[in-house]
């Protein structure tokens, strides 16, 4: 299925809530990533979640964070158009013996800078783990992705501590969330 102004080239991920495609911007032949609902008829909650992810993600303009380009109406929901960063998920790219120290430190610096930019916008990612970080093996460039669980700090402060179920993978959530 084509999204107006975009051509879908290939599906790169299919989840229960969303599907992710590699595509091309028709007007300038630019590579993009397209994230949309997995269901043809998404629920109001699923539609709001994708809209909210775009609203939060577009606030961050940092080279260590995937750039959100636009939010497009699509059939019965939305599609998020992101920059076409050609990379692999970090979780699938970690060598058996780990990264060389210099390579690891270069990635750690980029991730710290990216997290700093996220926090400067008063955004909490809530799901930082190797599955939500992309790495271009050739260049060593890393980027945070997937702001679907993220929120603005002001909204977090308003909620009572301890009443919300922790969000994210248990192995990676903060001590404040896990207790």
> What are the pLDDT digits (tens) for 19-71?
999 999 888 889 999 999 999 899 999 999 999 999 999 999 899 999 999 99
CA distances from 23 to 7, 34, 57, 66, 137 (A): 5, 7, 19, 15, 21
- Is the Cα torsion angle 149, 153, 134, 23 positive or negative in sign? positive
Strands 123-124 and 88-89: unpaired
Q: What whole-number distance in Å separates Cα of residue 146 and Cα of residue 99?
A: 24
- Quick one: pLDDT at residue 148? 93
Q: What whole-number distance in Å separates Cα of residue 34 and Cα of residue 70?
A: 10
List pLDDT tens digits, range 131-157.
999 999 999 999 999 999 999 987 655
- Quick one: pLDDT at residue 160? 46
As a 3-state breakdown, the chain gives helix, strand, coil percent values, each rounded to 5, of 30, 30, 40
Q: What whole-number distance in Å separates Cα of residue 135 and Cα of residue 128?
A: 14
What value, to the nearest 5°, has the Cα angle with vertex 134 and ends 86 and 175? Answer: 170
pTM: 0.82
């Amino acid at each position: 299925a084509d999204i107006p102004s975009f051509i879908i080239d290939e599906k790169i991920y299919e989840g229960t809530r969303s599907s992710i495609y590699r595509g091309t911007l028709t007007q300038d032949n630019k590579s993009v990533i397209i994230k949309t609902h997995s269901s043809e008829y998404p629920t109001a909650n699923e539609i709001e979640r994708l809209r909210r992810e775009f609203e939060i993600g577009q606030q961050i303009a940092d080279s260590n964070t995937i750039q959100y380009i636009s939010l497009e109406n699509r059939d019965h929901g939305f599609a998020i158009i992101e920059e076409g960063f050609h990379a692999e998920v970090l979780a699938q790219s970690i060598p058996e013996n780990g990264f060389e120290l210099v390579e690891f430190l270069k990635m750690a610096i980029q991730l710290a800078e990216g997290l700093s930019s996220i926090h400067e916008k008063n955004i909490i990612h809530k799901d930082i783990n190797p599955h939500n970080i992309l790495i271009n093996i050739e260049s060593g460039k890393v980027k945070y992705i997937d702001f679907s669980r993220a929120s603005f700090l002001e909204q977090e402060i308003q909620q009572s501590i301890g009443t919300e179920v922790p969000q994210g993978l248990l192995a990676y959530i903060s001590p404040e969330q896990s207790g």
